[in-house]
A = this chain, B = another copy of it.
């Protein structure tokens, strides 16, 4: 149950401190505690939330949607159905994007093959 600073969170996930502050300002990291000097203190729960934000970002969810999801998390168990539906829909979107990339990769492989043979 250690608290960590923004510098440590930044190092842990390898993202700039400025990005973490930006996410907090956008409402993706609510309820972050502060020490007497006003510095952010990330609890394990906050770190887990940041990890979720990064997971959703890695799968290209827009910040506005991540905020909606986080708002639902904060709101509590009454929003579980909404969150479940959102995650299911998001999963389908991610699978579709992976399919598109995988399909497009074939076109790139064709070029690689052609250029390799033309060398």
Contact = CB atoms under 8 A, between A and B. Distances in A.
Interface of A: 51-52, 55-56, 58-60, 77, 80-81, 83-84, 87-88, 90-91, 94-95, 97-98, 100-105, 107-109, 111-112, 115-116, 118-119
A84 B116 contact: yes
A105 B96 CA distance: 12
Q: Is the interface of A mostly helix, strand, loop or mixed?
A: helix
A103 to B, nearest CB: 8
Contacts of A81: 115, 119
Identify which of A88, A98, A115 gathers the most chain B CB atoms within 10 Å of its CB.
A115
B108 A59 contact: yes
Contacts of A83: 111, 115
